[in-house]
Amino acid sequence: MKQGETSLCPVCHMDIDNNNSITTEYQSRIFYFCSEQCRDRFNMNVHLYIGGRGIPSPKQHGEIILKRRTLKLEQPVTDEVAEKIKSELHEMMGIKEIGIKGDRVNIIYDLLEATTLQIEEKLEKIGNKVSSGLGEVLKRAFIHYVEETALDNLEHNSNTHSHH
């Protein structure tokens, strides 16, 4: 691609500059991303974002998988901190709605763009860890498993179709 050209981030479909350094190579093609979040998502399930043999991928034909979760924080936060968390989370791709009350973060997001694991990592990065209580840890482990399985199945199905 030429300098100054733009393309779409294959994960969130935002316009990006191709001088951007967040890239990955797949089947001898260079892909450009708006963020590390989108690159990581892409690398986990490539066939959700790129089609094959003229058949569009789930993302390319506009699929959205909205999920609603409640994540429990290690401790309740003040309204001021809640506002800060909201604005940080809204910088992520695929986040549709956030409500925070005490130690509960209610969030709606598009699983094709963001996973619970990525949201937890973001919370931790900005200094608001999710609860390490055993029940919460187990609940999240189950959510991670369910999300991974759902994405793998969707990817496998679209990949299978592309070979017919």
The contact set with Zn ion (CB under 5 A) reads 9, 11-12, 34, 38, 93
- What dihedral angle (degrees, nearest 10) is formed by the CA atoms of 22, 13, 157, 96? 100
Q: How far apart are the first and last CA of the chain?
A: 31
Residue corresponding to tokens 């187990």: 138
* Nearer of residues 110 and 120 to Zn ion, judged by Cβ: 110
* Nearer of residues 34 and 82 to Zn ion, judged by Cβ: 34
Cβ 41 to Zn ion shortest distance, Å: 8
Cβ 56 to Zn ion shortest distance, Å: 18
Strands (E), the chain: 6-8, 15-17, 23-26, 29-32, 66-72, 95-101, 104-110
* Nearer of residues 22 and 117 to Zn ion, judged by Cβ: 22
Cβ 43 to Zn ion shortest distance, Å: 13
* Nearer of residues 9 and 71 to Zn ion, judged by Cβ: 9
Structure tokens at 113: 């763009």
Cβ 110 to Zn ion shortest distance, Å: 11
